Homo-oligomer: A and B are copies of this chain.
Amino acid sequence: MSDALLTDLYQLTMLEAYHRKGIDAPAVFELYARRLPPNRGYLVVAGLELVLEYLEALAFSAADLDWLASLGRFSDEFLHSLALFRFHGDVWAVPEGTVLFAGEPWLRVEARLSEAQFIESRLINLMHFSTLIATKAVRCVSAAAGRPLVDFGMRRAHGAEAALHAARATGLVGFAGTATVEAGRRYGLPLSGTMAHSYVQALGDEREAFRHYAMTFPGAATLLIDTDDTATAAERVAELVREGVDIRAVRIDSGDLSAEARRVRSILDAGGATSVQIVVSGNLDEFSIAELVQADAPIDVFGVGTRLDTSADAPTIDAVYKLQSVGGRASRKRSPGKETWPGAKQVWRRHGTDGRACGDVVTLAHEHLADADPLLECVMQGGRRVRSAPTFASMADRVHAEWRALPDSARALRDPVAVPVTYSEAIVSLARELDAAST
């Protein structure tokens, strides 16, 4: 795949138009969410490292340019200029795992107009999805109240990259592992897996299927016990444990998970298999996890898949990437319901005496607030990263610190209330000036 051609056609046609007119002034674009999705009181911003990798590597190959030429849409002179096209700009961004609300920039790009414009489609594509899943995943972590979670979502994620980036997003919020093997290789995430019903069916004899799997992976096998009758299967597991077979866990994937977990726990315990853990799966999300935790179901691990990797209850964020200034002149658009605030910006967070976030202020980039912390930092200069990538552990620490500093009302799984975001007087005045000048 060509990363350079992974864009919308209009990015190329706009670049040709800029090129012909000789326009390439310094520009500032910002990526942010116009509003929060339903039932979201915050976003966990993620995907920054993926964006920085993309920007560092961005270039048109000879094959890309030949193919573009074959379309007959672009001038030769413009296509020649693309051979030298690279991203040379600066990027300011919040670190991955930062909590933000609507109307606050995730990232600010300062570059020549052509470079800052061209990257729009892939920037949104990358950060939108990682942020969507990191946000959903944190909600699952919070619902699980300390119990570990594992990502099982590859099969119904929207394609290969979605599966990999979803696994990455779950890693950075502190999931215990993922089942997606390539995500383990690419990102160094711990791998986790169980078995499928087809394995039990293929062996025909459930007891022998369990025994053989446990002997093949001593101490590491999670046995799926609902292919036929769960209680019978749990008794078989306990029997094997009594025979000295080392079995880590059982998985229940159907039925009333709370009732089944209770029944299985009591069979295992009565049978002397007290150390065998219970994993549950099957269309889980933060809502069903919270119910299971509320019911005090004896569950040790949650396997979360489809509804997590697609953020099924809210599969999109209204994330946009908008021009804030060009040639040193602030700019805004005034399309109904889609107005933008002009100028390069910074986000400042204030905490109350209880340590909880009590209100963010968005200012122009050059403003300074004495009693608050700035959230955007410089992560790329002249097209090169200025610091090494954070580890998953450090990102997870950040996520948890940020989450703990949220008011309870923002953390609520249903009908949350986001922390208030206000705009500085300087931004509001600038918008008024621009409106007055244009009418």
Residues on A close to B: CB < 8 A?
Answer: 1-2, 5-10, 12-14, 16-18, 20-21, 23, 25, 27, 29, 67, 71, 73, 113, 117, 120-122, 124-126, 128-129, 132, 152, 154-165, 179-182, 184-186, 191-204, 212-213, 216-217, 220, 226-229, 253-255, 306-307, 310-312, 315-317, 319, 322-323, 326, 329, 331-338, 438
Contact = CB atoms under 8 A, between A and B. Distances in A.
Contacts of A333: 197, 200-201, 227-228
Contact of A154 (B121, B159, B179, B217): B121
Contacts of A319: 156
Nearest to A163: B125
B158 A253 contact: no
Contacts of A132: 158
B163 A162 contact: no
Contacts of A317: 156
B73 A326 contact: no
Nearest to A16: B216
8 contacts: A6-B160, A6-B180, A8-B193, A16-B216, A156-B317, A159-B165, A160-B161, A315-B315
Residue of A9, A193, A195, A220 with most partner-chain B CB within 10 A: A9
Nearest to A21: B212
A1 B159 CA distance: 13
Contact of A13 (B124, B193, B201): B193
Contact of A310 (B2, B9, B316): B316
B161 A326 contact: no
B125 A201 contact: no
Contacts of A193: 8-10, 12-13
* Complex A-B, nearest 8 residue pairs according to Cβ-Cβ distance, in ascending order: A9-B193, A159-B161, A158-B158, A198-B323, A10-B193, A254-B335, A158-B162, A124-B155
Nearest to A256: B336
A152 B7 CA distance: 11
Given A23-B202, A323-B201, A228 B334 contact: yes
Nearest to A133: B158
B182 A125 contact: no
A129 B27 CA distance: 37
B315 A254 contact: no
B125 A154 contact: yes
A338 B254 contact: yes
Contact of A5 (B16, B182, B254): B182
A125 B319 CA distance: 25
Residue of A152, A159, A197 with most partner-chain B CB within 10 A: A159
A19 B361 CA distance: 61
Contacts of A154: 6-8, 121, 125
Contacts of A159: 125-126, 129, 158-162, 164-165
A132 B158 CA distance: 9
A185 B125 contact: no
Contact of A336 (B29, B152, B199, B255): B255
Residue of A17, A27, A311 with most partner-chain B CB within 10 A: A17
Contacts of A20: 212, 216
Residue of A181, A200, A201, A319 with most partner-chain B CB within 10 A: A181
Residue of A10, A161, A326 with most partner-chain B CB within 10 A: A10
A291 B27 CA distance: 39
Contacts of A67: 185
A326 B228 CA distance: 17
